[in-house]
Structure 1
Amino acid sequence: MRLSSTLLGVAAVLGAAEAQLRGFNYGANFLNNQAKVQNDFEYEFNKAKSLPGTSGWTSARLYTTIQHGTTKDPISAIPAAINTKTKLLLGLWASGTTAAAGQANINNEIAALKSAISKYGTKFTDLVVGISVGSEDLYRITPTGISNKAGAGAEPADLIKYIKQLRAAIKGTKLAGVPVGHVDTWTAYVNGTNAGVISNLDFLGVDAYPYFQTSMANSIGHANETFYSAYNQVKNVKAAKGKAIWITETGWPVSGPKENQAVASAANARIYWQDVACSLLAGKVNLFWYDLQEAQYGTPSPDFGIFGAGDLGTLKPRYSLSC
């Protein structure tokens, strides 16, 4: 099962764009809510570049462009990226408990972005490979999403408005030609009510986690097949035809609760890396893995981190990253 589904996965990504980004997702703060500062980001970016058995992990996806704990100061990941020559998929946080709150978030995100352009110039803009307006906002407003828990999301019409506001803000700047996209779950993209959002994008950032797909067979033996089923469904959405598809989040936890048939373990995380990450890399698909380190402090559950808690400089990967 695993071998045959891997071959199907490789076939699914043939013909993808030649250029490829390899990176991880980076939050603005630690699990204890402490803000990451420039040195923290530099430490993480440099660790990603030196992973045993790998090469080319020189990109970073951010969820926000605002420094944690401030209203609209540029995130310290930007000077860290400049110092480490790390490419950036910028994120603008768009979700709000109300449309007004969402608009306020976007206003602050755009202010931080414009401030960063002014402050860092081409040293910054030359590193930006894309800008994502929002992250899983459409998922949060669906009945099966996390809206009942988080109480936050963004309606399609609001996201379209935010995308247009971003394009207007970067017009005439060094970021004017940078691809603008959105990150959401694969289920959001195959929902026809969101077609208008897709039509306003240059790329679709897809989050797909077979581990969480509890309504179907989701053991590690089915994970590759389940992942590529999601990938291909997005690829075949009428509104997405011709749009670039980036995998912005996927991974398998090394610890955590059992989800239907899915068991979290380092052994299964290794299988998922070999089956999914390696096939995406071979297919030249832009990939932002979740995650380099889930938490430096504390014990997250589930924990997707390649590294456990502690000082990254002293830790070894929990599983092999070779292909």
Structure 2
Amino acid sequence: MLSFLSILVPLLLSFTAPSAAYWKGFNLPGNLPSGACKTREDWAHDFSVLKSLPGQFTSARLFASSDCGTLANAVPAALAANAGLLVGVWATDNAHYEAEKAALLQAIQQHGTQWIIAVSVGSEDLYRGDTSAANLASQIREVKSLLCERGACGTEVGHVDTWTAWVDPKNEDVIRACDFVGHDGYPYWEGASVEQGLDAFRTNLEKTRNAVGRVKPGTWVWVTETGWPVTGASVGLASSSVANAQAYWKSAACESFRGAHTFWYTTQDYASSPSFGVLGADFKPLYDLSC
């Protein structure tokens, strides 16, 4: 006869090792730091580098579908690397939105759907005031319908925005339309010191979760952008440095990877200021990325 413990222990283990259930990756732009569009070979190199990092990252968030031929070049490279993609569809400017949908549907027609983690319609559009909640919610539902028509009814579709947008009651229609909610949070831009960074990250993520939970209980909140710059101007108490970026990674990244689908910002942006890149021009880590 099986003992109570022989049954209980496997059950407990199944709930105490959640990290394997979460996607963890980086935001990957469609352009090189020089501004040139990435080729298929550039995307393949990106995925190879991600796999070589501590943690062996096998997923990425893309900002667009049509820009720079993002999906046309990234999807074959992702399939070859067995990587998953959180796809971005720009929602502002009707012509751009139509081109994005067309690029997504063409990629599905050519490559199926096994490479798709989920689809985000828009990115910080509510924060910028670029569209209304009603219009964005309608676009989310439209993309869900288009995916379902292509046999991808189970694909989650949501939106990525700042916590300030998610707690605003006028945006609740977007939450209702979402299968998942993407949270963008940067303690650096809010002027928090790096010592305050983890608490600020936790606090604002919880604000998003509470707002989403009130409107649509059970909806998962993903961490779709956060990071700390290695160079750039100070903002309030926040200062950029390799040491501070390292400290924020060790606290916020390592915690988030264990508790939510998380996409860090970013791999390379050394031509920008501030620069949030974790890799130098040689694709080597600028600091310890282990957890």
3-state secondary structure, aligned to 1:178: coil
Q: Which amino acid aligns with 1:55?
A: G
3-state secondary structure, aligned to 1:211: coil
1:22 and 1:56 in contact (8 A); partners too: no
Whether 1:222 aligns to 2:196 is yes
Q: What TM-score do the two structures reach when normalised by structure 2?
A: 0.89
Q: How far did residue 240 of structure 1 move? A: 4.4
Gaps of 5+ in 2: 1-15
Measure the CA separation in 2 of the matches of 1:243 and 1:182: 12
* Aligned CA distance change for structure 1 residues 187 and 31 (closer, same or farther; 3 Å): same
Of 230, 235, 253 in structure 1, the residue corresponding to residue 209 of structure 2 is: 235
Tell me the equivalent position of 2:83: 86
Whether 1:289 aligns to 2:289 is no
Q: Which amino acid aligns with 2:229?
A: P
Q: What TM-score do the two structures reach when normalised by structure 1?
A: 0.81
* Aligned CA distance change for structure 1 residues 44 and 15 (closer, same or farther; 3 Å): closer
Q: Which amino acid aligns with 1:278?
A: C
Tell me the equivalent position of 2:22: 20
Of 47, 58, 63 in structure 2, the residue corresponding to residue 45 of structure 1 is: 47
3-state secondary structure, aligned to 1:75: helix
Tell me the equivalent position of 1:317: 285
Tell me the equivalent position of 1:252: 228
State percent identity of aligned pairs: 39
Tell me the equivalent position of 1:150: none
Tell me the equivalent position of 2:121: 133
Tell me the equivalent position of 1:113: 104
Of 272, 279, 283 in structure 2, the residue corresponding to residue 307 of structure 1 is: 279
Q: Compute the RMSD of aligned alpha carbons.
A: 1.8
Q: How far did residue 186 of structure 1 move? A: 1.1
1:2-36 residue CA offsets vs partner (Å, 9 max, x unmatched): xxxxxxxxxxxx99796200110011112433111
1:265-297 residue CA offsets vs partner (Å, 9 max, x unmatched): 1111111011111111232x11100111114xx
Measure the CA separation in 2 of the matches of 1:89 and 1:320: 25
Tell me the equivalent position of 2:251: 275
Tell me the equivalent position of 2:133: 156
Q: Which amino acid aligns with 2:118?
A: G
* Aligned CA distance change for structure 1 residues 88 and 234 (closer, same or farther; 3 Å): same
2:24 and 2:59 in contact (8 A); partners too: yes
Tell me the equivalent position of 2:149: 172
Any runs of at least 4 consecutive aligned residues in structure 1 with deviations exceeding 3 A, and if so which? 14-18
Gaps of 5+ in 1: 1-13, 96-100, 142-152
Q: Which amino acid aligns with 2:210?
A: N
* Aligned CA distance change for structure 1 residues 74 and 267 (closer, same or farther; 3 Å): closer
